[in-house]
Chain A
Amino acid sequence: MNHDDIALRLDDVCKSFGRIRAVDHLSIEVHPGEMVGFLGPNGAGKSTALYMASRLVRPSAGKIEIFGHDVWKDFKEAIRYVGIMAEMPSFYEYLSARKNLELMARLRFDANRSQIDAILEKIGLFERRNDKVATYSHGMKQRLGLGMALIGSPKLLILDEPTNGMDPEGTREILNFLKEKITNDGLTVFVSSHLLYEVEEYCDRVFVINHGRLIASGKVKEILAPHENVLHVTFHDTTVNIESLLHEDGIELVESLSNNSVVITLKNRDSVWLNKLLLNRGYKVSALTPKQKTLKEFFLSVTGENNNA
């Protein structure tokens, strides 16, 4: 693949702060037109990796390219079409949202100042555009942070916890807007988030890091593909006798969800076999479906800890 065809490429990137290795031989590729989630427990090195891609932090080793341009050797070209939103974005609080966006527009080669009102509309701050940012709520500041990243029609957005502190309605609005930009304008989004349901619903691929290392990656659809050997069974009536089912050779685990619903994990058997077994035992099965995987399960299984992403 030509490097120009890769929106963001981190190649064997390392970063140490004294003795602490924040990012350890991290390699990531984000392709144009996709929305990629970046997950990891607190302190996993997500923000450091994003800051390195924004040239705010200098890598100890490795190479970072944006649309084929080296971030350190050819920064201006590399960053030209990139919008970046840092975690907890900061502004000149004594200025209005509009003025903050105007200042940003001056620093973007391709920014059009008429874009500002359109962005203010999109992020839902048009009514309050002339108010000082100091009077804004946390959620409004998050929206403005996204607005700043959108100045200059970027092709790649690097977002660190963009919906942190936003209300559910606002979060959905923003994510739908991003999805629309991806579909209509071919925008690429690389987003770090601890809200797994957001990533699950909106991202095409995910990268999971822990202790600075990439520990898992893949397409969300594949990760969330239903379990073949874990089945969700709903019965018409009776309380299920878990004990008796556990004695069956082909059953590894039975978890009770309610009086008439269980999750059964099979050993080298399939749903047809289980259906027959349950019918033979006299259970009236109303539904037998492969259990849907969740990103949370995937995340916990790869990080091996009950931490937040």
Chain B
Amino acid sequence: MPNMVMPLLRNEVTKAIRTKLPYFGLFAASLVCLLAFVVTRETGGQNLNAWGYISLSMQLVFTDIGLIFIAIFSAMLIAEETGFRTVRTILSTPISRWEFYMTKVLTGLLYAGVMSIISLAISLCLGLLNYKFGDVTDSMGLIYGQKEVLGNFLLAFFLSWIPLMAVVTYGVFISTIVRKSGQAVAVTIGTIYVIDLTKHIIGIDSYIFTRYIGYPWRVFNQVAQGVDYQWSPEIWKMVTMSLIYCFVTFAAGLLIFAKRDFNG
């Protein structure tokens, strides 16, 4: 039997491009990039290079508005199908439950990826308008060559996807256990913010994946500023914690979804 993930993913894309939420999220992320551009230009932008602006812009997008929209989008993926009972129609075709669940996770990841690429593209375009790409220098001369900066930029860009994967799998997990899309969104955003606000107080900060969402861009910002930067060991913590969250939420969500009765 052919694998049905690709046809399902095509269906998900067909549906997503006909709804407003994904566009709204992309618009909001673009707006943040623009705001970051305006603010940095007005407040000491002359000391900033294009890399610095991009790292700041991407940090702002994904530690706040991007995170919210990716979480909302992911939290609606299964809950919307359950709430409106369209899940019954899909699951009574030759689709395995794991294929359905996997497709939902891939759809969330695709949206996070698209948001990340669009934000970066807009940041790059805006960066070109006012700043220079190139070596990182100061009055004493060269600090980091363009090749090293570009390498760190690409590393930051790809590493920033890892905690976003955890956001997606967490959202889809909540979407599985809460049957209405509105409630699933509220629970996902609510829990992320409650944990975010209390993690310092109860000393679990380094074990929460949301802490690492802007981390790669923070490190890259140090590169862009020409100061000493260090990926290790914090980046390993980020990768480990994010992947643990990904695995646990994915497995738990899939297990619950596979066992569930859809008789309502």
Contact = CB atoms under 8 A, between A and B. Distances in A.
Interface of A: 17, 47-48, 51, 54-58, 75-77, 79-80, 82, 84, 86, 88-95, 99, 103-104, 106-109, 148
A107 B94 contact: yes
B263 A47 contact: yes
Interface in B218-263: 259, 261-263
B85 A106 contact: no
A95 B92 contact: no
Contacts of B94: 75-76, 79-80, 107-109
B253 to A, nearest CB: 18
A103 B4 CA distance: 12
Contact of A86 (B1, B4, B18, B92): B92
A99 B90 CA distance: 14
B14 A99 contact: yes
Given A95-B18, A104-B93, A106-B7, 8 more contacts: A54-B88, A56-B92, A75-B94, A86-B92, A88-B85, A90-B89, A91-B89, A99-B18
A47 B84 CA distance: 18
For the residues of B in contact with A, the DSSP-based class is: loop
B98 to A, nearest CB: 11
B14 A107 contact: no
For B1, B86, B94, the residue with the greatest tally of chain A CB atoms inside 10 Å of its CB is B94
Contacts of B86: 90-92
B11 A56 contact: no
B88 A90 contact: yes
6 contacts: A47-B263, A48-B263, A55-B91, A56-B88, A57-B262, A107-B90
B147 interface: no
Nearest to A74: B1
Contacts of A107: 4, 7-8, 11, 90, 93-95
A77 to B, nearest CB: 7
A87 to B, nearest CB: 9
Interface residues of B, number: 27
A56 B263 contact: yes
Nearest to A103: B11
B14 A84 contact: no
A48 B263 CA distance: 7
A58 B261 contact: yes
B2 interface: yes
Nearest to B261: A57
B63 interface: no
A260 to B, nearest CB: 52
B96 interface: yes
A86 B92 CA distance: 9
A148 B259 CA distance: 25
B42 to A, nearest CB: 41
Q: Which 9 A-B pairs have the closest CB atoms?
A: A84-B92, A90-B85, A56-B262, A107-B93, A54-B92, A76-B94, A57-B261, A106-B7, A76-B1
A94 B91 CA distance: 20
A108 B84 contact: no
Contact of A51 (B8, B10, B19, B263): B263
A58 B257 CA distance: 12
A88 B88 CA distance: 11
Nearest to A53: B92
A300 to B, nearest CB: 27
B200 interface: no
Nearest to A145: B89
Interface string B72-115: 00000000000011101111111110000000000000000000
A106 B262 CA distance: 22
Contact of B96 (A47, A75, A82): A75
Contacts of A54: 88, 91-92
B85 to A, nearest CB: 4
